[in-house]
Amino acid sequence: MSKIIKGIKLRLYPNQAQQAQLWQMFGNDRFVWNQMLAMAKSRYENNPSSHFVNGYQMDALLKTLKQEYPFLRESDSTSLQVVNHNLDQAFKMLFQHKGGQPRFKSRRSSYQSYTGKSKLYVVAKRYLKLPKLGYIKTSKTSQLQNVKIKRYTVSHDPTGRYYLSLQVEAEVNQLPRTGKTVGLDVGVADLAISSDGIKYGTFNARWLEKQATKWQSRYAKRCHRANVAVRQWNHNHKTAKLELDDYQNWQLARVMKSRYQQRIANQRRDYLHKLTTNLVKQYDVIVIEDLKTKNLQKNHYLAKSIANASWYQFRTMLQYKCDWYGKQLVVVKPNYTSQICSHCGFHSGKKALAIREWTCPRCDTHHDRDINAAVNILHKGLKAVG
Known catalytic membership, residue 169: no
What is the spatial distance between Cα 337 and Cα 55, in angstroms, rounded to a whole number?
A: 49
Average the pLDDT over 182-189 and give the result: 87
- Of 29, 76, 88, 289, the catalytic one is 289
Query: What is the number of helices (H) and of strands (E) in the chain?
Result: 9, 14
Amino acid symbol at 178: T
What is the spatial distance between Cα 371 and Cα 199, in angstroms, rounded to a whole number?
A: 9
Task: Give the containing element (helix H, strand E) for 209.
Answer: helix 206-236
Average the pLDDT over 8-21 and give the result: 95
Assess whether pLDDT exceeds 90 at residue 318. yes
Task: Give the containing element (helix H, strand E) for 346.
Answer: none
Sign of the Cα torsion 301, 307, 308, 309 reads positive
Task: Give the containing element (helix H, strand E) for 127.
Answer: strand 127-130
Three-state secondary-structure class, residue 75: coil
What pLDDT is stored for residue 297 in this prediction? 65
What pLDDT is stored for residue 71 in this prediction? 95
CATH architecture of 177-210+248-386: 2-Layer Sandwich (3.30)
Radius of gyration of the chain (CA): 26
Sign of the Cα torsion 66, 72, 74, 78 reads negative
pLDDT in tens, 189-248: 888 889 998 999 888 889 999 999 999 999 999 999 999 988 988 888 877 788 887 788
124 Cα distance to chain centroid = 29
To the nearest 10 degrees (0 to 180), the angle between helices 206-236 and 248-282 is 150
- Of 29, 76, 88, 370, the catalytic one is 370
Return the DSSP state at 160. Answer: S
What is the spatial distance between Cα 176 and Cα 380, in angstroms, rounded to a whole number?
A: 25
The CA angle 112-116-120, to the nearest 5 degrees, is 115
- Average pLDDT along the chain: 89
2-13 β-sheet, strand order: 112-116, 147-156, 162-172, 2-13, 134-138, 127-130, 121-124
What is the spatial distance between Cα 190 and Cα 275, in angstroms, rounded to a whole number?
A: 13
What is the spatial distance between Cα 17 and Cα 132, in angstroms, rounded to a whole number?
A: 12
Average the pLDDT over 99-122 and give the result: 92
What pLDDT is stored for residue 241 in this prediction? 81
pLDDT in tens, 16-55: 999 999 999 999 999 999 999 999 999 988 888 888 888 8
34 Cα distance to chain centroid = 25
239 phi-psi bin (left φ>0, alpha ψ -120 to 50, beta other): alpha
- Of 45, 157, 185, 190, the catalytic one is 185
Task: Give the containing element (helix H, strand E) for 55.
Answer: helix 55-68
What pLDDT is stored for residue 277 in this prediction? 94
Q: What's the pLDDT band for 309 if we cut at 50, 70, 90?
A: confident
Known catalytic membership, residue 190: no
With CA atoms as reference, report the closest residue to 158 among 45, 59, 242, 257. Answer: 257
What is the spatial distance between Cα 119 and Cα 130, in angstroms, rounded to a whole number?
A: 8
Q: What's the pLDDT band for 293 if we cut at 50, 70, 90?
A: low
User: What are the extents of the domains in the chain?
Assistant: 2-172, 177-210+248-386
Amino acid symbol at 68: E
Alpha-helix residue ranges (DSSP H) falling in 97-173: none
Assess whether pLDDT exceeds 90 at residue 264. yes
- Going from the C-alpha of 363 to that of each of 14, 72, 173, 343, the distances in angstroms are 68, 76, 46, 8
Task: Give the containing element (helix H, strand E) for 200.
Answer: strand 199-201
Q: What percent of the chain has pLDDT over 90?
A: 56
What is the spatial distance between Cα 8 and Cα 14, in angstroms, rounded to a whole number?
A: 18
Higher-scoring residue by pLDDT: 243, 329? 329
Return the DSSP state at 152. Answer: E
- Going from the C-alpha of 52 to that of each of 87, 92, 257, the distances in angstroms are 12, 10, 42
Assess whether pLDDT exceeds 70 at residue 363. yes
Known catalytic membership, residue 76: no
Average the pLDDT over 46-65 and give the result: 89
